[in-house]
Amino acid sequence: MTLGQGIYGKQAAQAKPKSTKNYSHIADQDFVENEIIIEYHRNETLLSTLANKSVEEEQNFFAKLNINYNIWSEASTDEQIDLLRDKITKFRRQGKLKKLKRAKKLKKSLRTAHAVLTLDHPVSKTELATLIKRMNLDGHVSDNFAIDAVYPNYIYEISESITNDPLEEQQFSNDVVKPEALWSYTKGAGTVVAIIDTGVDWNHEDLAANIWINTNEIPNNGKDDDNNGYVDDVRGWDFVNTTSSGCSFGEDCSREDNDPNDFNSHGTHVAGIIGAVGNNAIGIVGIAPETKIMPLRAGFSTGSSAFLETADIIQAINYAIDNDADVINMSFAGYGLSVLSSILTEADRLGIICVAAAGNNSSNEPIYPAAISSVIGVGATADGVSKSSFSNYGTWVDITAPGSWLLSTVPNNNYDHKSGTSMASPVVAGVAALLKAKNPSYNPSAIKKLLLDNATKTTFYVERGGTEFIGGVTAEISFPFEIINSSVPSSALLGASLNLTSSASETAVEYEWLSSIDGSLSSQQSFSISNLSLGTHQISVRARNSSGVWTRAYTKTLVISDEKVIDPNENNGGGDGGLTISPLSQNIRISQFEGRIYASMTRNTRKQIKTFRWTSNLDGVVSNKRGFYKNKLSAGSHILSLQAQDKNGNWTNPLQRISYKYSS
């Protein structure tokens, strides 16, 4: 491959600090030989001014990469490609799709931050390392785009142990994890677990009732009803589209489609561990027997094992994010550095719990994606005490779970035993689904903390001698006594009746409600109150159980105001029944000083006002000036309303201040 100097290299090097990454690992890893992954970001401010030309600008960005690095050949110019799924959908609706067909060889688009490019010919690992190192060091930029990182399209392997000896370490996950204790709270209903794997036999007798259904898609009508870029994706998606010659005979590997069926059995086995249907008098029961399983096929069989390409994994993660999965299980492992880090960090930020297998090399070398900080990395135990012989270990492994000789579902309504950290990962993913179902407000950090705080702390003897930490063993979850919900409005008018309520994670015998302004409010779980003082309250609540233990205080902010803006379509309270509203409405406030009530505003606003109108519910119109003295009001409690008319004849929204008490 020719690696020319390029016309943008010098500028790019100045724009981005040089990378300190080590690329020697590439020579030892498996990857798609003629593809690279570009992780990049856009200047959204500049692109927003380009409107429909933004797609063309993206094409120009990749064309410049071609000039600079000779990434693809001219022979590929006629290939029709997908360039940003969301924009293709938009352009198709606008009848402008023809513009996209002129782009060069951009194989796929993966959300907005990744793209897969096809090289002009297969290269050696050394050549690929040289190209990637140079692109990262250059940090090629344009006005609208900049490269964040360049990676090989790594190949990950499913983490299933090759042994099937029935006399080897045997342990069934439910015996150690005891999910029945969680079932008293929930069985996972209302949660969705995305399984990125070799697919799932979605017709299996013990899985079919729990398969996730995209209710926004009309089945088999050949249309993308929900405009998510996937046609007829009723049960997830098959992302496999590989040129690998090792793909097993008869397996669907050549194109993406809407059938994420399993040709291997690995993904179906994982699905059963997580969510096999319970109480159906059939087969087994999953850890979360009422959760929904989202099948996302990104892995293909090669006979002895199965593999996944990074590009397909990223697309599957994006799909899980876009379709509101609660948990993502990834029973595969590789040494692809942190190529998946940014997208999994984004999933974590959006509240999705990401779980991954630690791998089966009996090594303490970090494996990805399990070693990414936003992912729960799972090792395998044989009996809840000893490490499975194949399991990886080390401080980067967060937790372990049973992974030896687990019985679960396999295609065609069958059941079988499998071993591997691939089997341990769904055990933890299933528990995570139960925790999320129990309390939907739990974020990934809270769920990870619950798992680790309740895990059995231990170290294990390892083959190299000595002991090394591998993470605690997943065990029965003991929930802290805590306030899990508090219903407090964010704002209210002075004197309004408010209903406040709270609930705790277990039965409470007493509650304590406090206001930062008014002090003690109530000792009941729910109560009504109408005498809160004017101002910003910090409303806190805590609870006490029968053992005398108090929860931590749960606090919300409540603003009590004596002003409100009246709907202009209302005639009551001074409304003007739909008249044109002056744009000055937001610029005026009611104030008082030394007995005078007046309209507060800037000098510029005052110049635009023709007249004012002050109205009292007791005295009617009391003034047409900017302000008046309150001794003009009769004795009693007044609701004052203020409006101002601009020089165009338009009145502002009525502004009210309530509960003034004046005496003559």
CA distance 37 to 366: 21
* Residue 241, φ and ψ in degrees, nearest 5: -155, 80
Hey, what are 339's tokens?
């190529």
Cα separation, 372 vs 507, whole angstroms: 38
Bond into 369 cis (ω within 30) = yes
Q: Give DSSP secondary structure letters for 99-112.
A: GGGG--SEEEEETT
Using CA atoms, how far apart are residues 45 and 132, in angstroms rounded to an integer?
A: 29
**201 assigned to active site:** no
Among 109, 331, 419, 422, which one carries the catalytic annotation? 422
Task: Write out the two tokens for 165.
Answer: 């000896």
CA distance 378 to 427: 9
| 335-363 burial: b if 16+ Cβ within 10 Å, else e | bbbbbbbbbbbbbbeebbbbbbbbbbbeb
Quick check: 272 and 284 in contact, CB under 8 A?
A: yes
Q: Measured over all CA atoms, what is the biggest interatomic distance in the chain, rounded to whole angstroms? A: 97
State the catalytic residue, choosing from 138, 197, 262, 348.
197
Cβ pair 542, 554 in contact under 8 A: yes
Catalytic residue among 140, 204, 266, 638: 266
Which residues make Cβ contacts (< 8 Å) with residue 615, sequence separation at least 6?
574, 621, 622, 640, 641, 642, 643
Six-digit token string for 500: 């406040």
CA atoms within 13 Å, Cβ hemisphere of 303: 5
The residue length of the chain stands at: 664
Q: Is the dihedral of CA 472, 476, 482, 487 positive or negative?
A: positive
User: Would you call 197 a catalytic residue per the annotation?
Assistant: yes
- What amino acid is encoded at 593 in this protein? F
Q: String of b and e for 82-120 (b: at least 16 CB within 10 Å)?
A: bbbbebbbebeeeeeeeebeebbbbbbbbbbbbbbbbbb
Alpha-carbon gap, residue 387 to 371, rounded angstroms: 18
> Which amino acid makes up residue 356?
A
CA proximity to 509, closest of 554, 552, 549, 553:
549
422 catalytic per annotation: yes
Please tell me the distance from the alpha carbon of residue 493 to that of residue 658, in angstroms, as a whole number: 8
Active site members: 197, 266, 422
